[in-house]
Amino acid sequence: MNEPLLSVRNIVQEFESRGPGGVKEGVVHAVSDISFDLMPGETLGIVGETGSGKSTLARAVIQVDRPKSGSVVFRGEDLTGLSRKELKKVWSNFQMVYQDPFSSLNPRWRIEDVVAEPLDSHRSLSRPERRAKVRELLDLVGLDPDTYLRRRPMELSGGQAQRVAIARAIALDPAVIICDEAISSLDVLIQAQVINLFEKLRVELGLSYLFIAHDLATVKQVSDRVAVLYLGQLAEIAPSDRMYEAPRHPYTRALLDSVPGLDPETGVAKRPITLPGDVPSPLDPPSGCRFRTRCPFAQDVCAAVEPKLEPCSGGGYVACHFPLDDDGLPTNGHPEGTRAALPA
């Protein structure tokens, strides 16, 4: 069996929150005890509402922001123990692609120089070698080098700019690309094209992805497995096919029910779950299960005991005292059980 490329264990990230005048308001519990593995060549989707901790988790994983506790092991080496100088040697293995490509592209530079930026910092290439490499990278992302080398970012469409950002991201032959809402600002047609490009590069270059998005529909086509975050905690992680067919966590089910166009006959939307209220503040998360204040199936134990990730039927793991069955009804325990009595 293949060893994980990346092993994340018990990551915790917290920040002090300060109000007017710098007065401390409390501690933001941004990421709480999250663990997962990323296998070679795998795409792991990371999904959750705004404020769920997705981007914070990504920054902690690659040690841009040091986590409060936990470990991150990449190719057998624990990154959490490395100095900043040592980390710089590792960071070329991790590259980010952001939601707004224009914000990360220097508007004064020509595309040739934008794509070559990491090469200039990490490789010693002659001018002909540099240009040849940039041409190769542009060709890989579907942009004609003769057309785009001399252009500037302001002359590009959103989709073209994102392709340039991807070309720059793969310049140093990384192992992992973190896509942070990388397609959410693009129209549907361009989204599909960029997803196809990510898949093409995964096959041709052997890449692994952490694919961050705020809705399950976005990651459906691209992810092998999906991790669902709620208020800084992992609610469910499972193979993509199983999660879309039979989500085990009520929050996952609610996210799927909110996706337009899903067929209610598939079983996902037989009893649609509508979430009341807003996500609680990470300054003061609920006791027990953090989702209980919005969950239609919550019972007394949900307030008293924090659920742990446990194996669930059909594959994957879920953090829920009453995981859903194939019909979308809560059960008593893991991985199988009789249905729990529904709350009045």
| Percent of the chain as helix, strand, coil, to the nearest 5 | 35, 25, 45
Indicate the length of the chain as a whole number.
Answer: 344
C-alpha to C-alpha distance for 106 and 123, rounded to whole angstroms: 20
Supply the pLDDT for residue 18. Answer: 80
Supply the pLDDT for residue 306. Answer: 96
Residue 6: which H helix or E strand, with range?
A: strand 6-18
Q: For residue 196, give both structure tokens.
A: 């196809």
Residue 95: which H helix or E strand, with range?
A: strand 94-98
For residue 335, say if its preceding peptide bond is cis, omega within 30 degrees of 0: yes
Region of residue 324 (left: phi > 0; alpha: psi -120 to 50; beta: else)? beta
Task: Give the per-residue SS3 of 216-282.
Answer: HHHHCCCCCEEEEEECCEEEEEEEHHHHHHCCCCHHHHHHHHCCCCCCHHHCCCCCCCCCCCCCCCC
In order along its 344 residues, the chain shows pLDDT tens digits of: 589 999 999 999 999 888 787 778 889 999 999 999 999 999 999 999 888 999 999 999 999 999 999 999 999 999 998 999 999 889 999 999 999 989 989 999 999 999 999 999 999 999 999 999 999 999 999 999 999 999 999 999 999 999 999 999 999 999 999 999 999 888 989 999 999 999 999 999 999 999 999 878 888 889 999 999 999 999 999 999 999 999 999 999 999 887 765 454 554 444 556 677 788 889 999 999 999 999 999 999 999 999 999 999 889 999 999 999 998 889 876 544 444 443 33
Supply the pLDDT for residue 316. Answer: 94
Query: Would you call 199 helix, strand, or coil by DSSP?
Result: helix
Crossing angle of the two packed helices 111-122 and 127-140, in degrees rounded to 10: 120
Supply the pLDDT for residue 338. Answer: 43
pTM: 0.90
Supply the pLDDT for residue 237. Answer: 97
Q: Show the domains of the chain with their CATH numbers.
A: 6-93+174-240 (3.40.50.300)
Supply the pLDDT for residue 50. Answer: 87
Supply the pLDDT for residue 273. Answer: 63
C-alpha to C-alpha distance for 211 and 226, rounded to whole angstroms: 9
Mark out the alpha helices in 15-157 (DSSP H runs).
54-61, 84-90, 111-122, 127-140, 145-148
